[in-house]
């Protein structure tokens, strides 16, 4: 990589000299290394700022997923008549909020306005899906949807764990998988009781 940057910088320098581009000052030979490093640093900063990594995309998607699950769990705390579902929903809010906070610390591409817009869109969509439901009908749909969300998250976490080279992300996924799996078991047990 450094070799490519060095060659590129020398070519640019030669082109500028050859085309007669006006120089503000003559560049002594001993300063060429510094000049090349400066060009390389600017190019690296430009490339880094314009390219979103796969880890950033994964983290952004997971942040949106955790927000949705928190909204859904909050809704269950408010609408469900089952003490077991209300208790599980509170547990989900607490655990998913911790995971959301950890994901947001890893997020390199999001900003606060995007977060607010995503949260508003998610909230409206979830409220519409559940607005006409109550009692056992609400509880069954909520448990079923949460089972799907948790199973999806587990699969996505396992896939990302096998691909990512980001040590912090690997650590977070490794720590979170048992918690999400436990949620899935609890949700499955609730579904079995409802049948």
For residues 69 and 115, state if they share a domain: yes
The pTM of the full predicted model, rounded to 2 decimals, is: 0.64
pLDDT, residue 154, reads: 94
Per-residue pLDDT tens for 85-137? Answer: 999 999 999 999 999 999 988 886 555 444 544 554 455 555 667 778 888 89
Residue 173 has pLDDT above 90, yes or no: yes
Q: What is the mean pLDDT of the chain?
A: 77
Residue 39 token pair: 């060009």
Joined together, the tokens standing for residue 162 give: 């096998």
Domain region containing 66: 54-194
87 and 137 part of one domain = yes
The answer to whether residues 62 and 97 belong to one domain is yes
Would you state the pLDDT for residue 37?
Answer: 64
For the chain, count helices (H), then strands (E). Answer: 7, 0
Q: Express each pLDDT in 85-98 by its tens digit.
A: 999 999 999 999 99
Same domain, 30 and 106: no
Q: What is the pLDDT of residue 167?
A: 92
Q: Are residues 45 and 125 in the same domain?
A: no
Return left, alpha or beta for 108; rule: phi > 0 is left, psi -120 to 50 is alpha, else beta. alpha
Higher pLDDT, 58 or 93: 93
Of 82, 26, 55, 38, nearest to 166 (Cα)?
A: 55
pLDDT (0 to 100) of residue 6: 57
Per the structure, the count of domains in the chain is 2
Mean pLDDT of 138-156: 93
Judge if 18 and 67 occupy the same domain: no
Query: Is there a single domain that holds both residue 104 and residue 137?
Result: yes
Query: Do 37 and 63 reside in the same domain of the chain?
Result: no
112 and 171, same structural domain?
yes
Last residue of a domain, one of 29, 50, 71: 50
Residues 111 and 124 in one domain: yes
In this model, does residue 45 exceed pLDDT 90?
no
- Report the pLDDT value the prediction gives residue 59, as an integer from 0 to 100: 87
Nearest to 191 by CA among 134, 130, 148, 144: 144
Which band of pLDDT confidence, cut at 50, 70 and 90, is reported for residue 58? confident
What pLDDT is recorded for position 11? 64
User: Is pLDDT above 70 for 42?
Assistant: no
Cα separation, 180 vs 59, whole angstroms = 16
Indicate if 149 and 102 belong to the same structural domain.
Answer: yes
More confident residue, 51 or 185: 185
Sequence-distant contacts of 126-133: CB under 8 A, at least 24 apart: 126/68, 126/71, 126/72, 126/75, 127/75, 130/75, 130/79, 133/79
CATH of the domain at 67: 1.20.1260.10
Mean pLDDT is lowest, of 50-59, 141-150, 173-182, for 50-59
Q: Are 164 and 170 in contact (CB under 8 A)?
A: yes
Asked if 14 and 61 sit in the same domain, the reply is: no
Distance of CA 112 to the CA centre of its chain: 14
Is the pLDDT confidence value at 18 over 60?
A: no
């Amino acid at each position: 990589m450094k070799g490519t940057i060095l060659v590129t910088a020398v070519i640019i320098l030669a082109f500028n000299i050859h085309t007669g581009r006006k120089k503000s000052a003559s560049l002594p030979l001993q300063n060429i290394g510094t000049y090349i490093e400066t060009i390389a640093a600017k190019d690296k900063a430009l490339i880094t700022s314009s390219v979103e990594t796969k880890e950033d995309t994964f983290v952004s998607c997971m942040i949106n997923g955790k927000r949705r699950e928190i909204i859904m769990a909050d809704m269950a705390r408010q609408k469900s008549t089952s003490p077991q579902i209300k208790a599980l929903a509170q547990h989900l809010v607490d655990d998913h909020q911790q995971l959301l906070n950890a994901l947001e610390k890893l997020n390199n591409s999001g900003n606060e306005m995007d977060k607010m817009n995503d949260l508003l869109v998610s909230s409206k969509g979830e409220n519409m899906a559940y607005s006409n439901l109550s009692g056992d009908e609400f509880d069954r749909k909520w448990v079923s949807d949460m089972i799907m969300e948790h199973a999806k998250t587990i699969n996505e976490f396992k896939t990302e764990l096998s691909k990512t080279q980001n040590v912090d992300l690997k650590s977070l996924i490794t720590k979170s998988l048992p918690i999400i799996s436990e949620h899935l078991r609890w949700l499955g047990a609730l579904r079995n009781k409802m049948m």
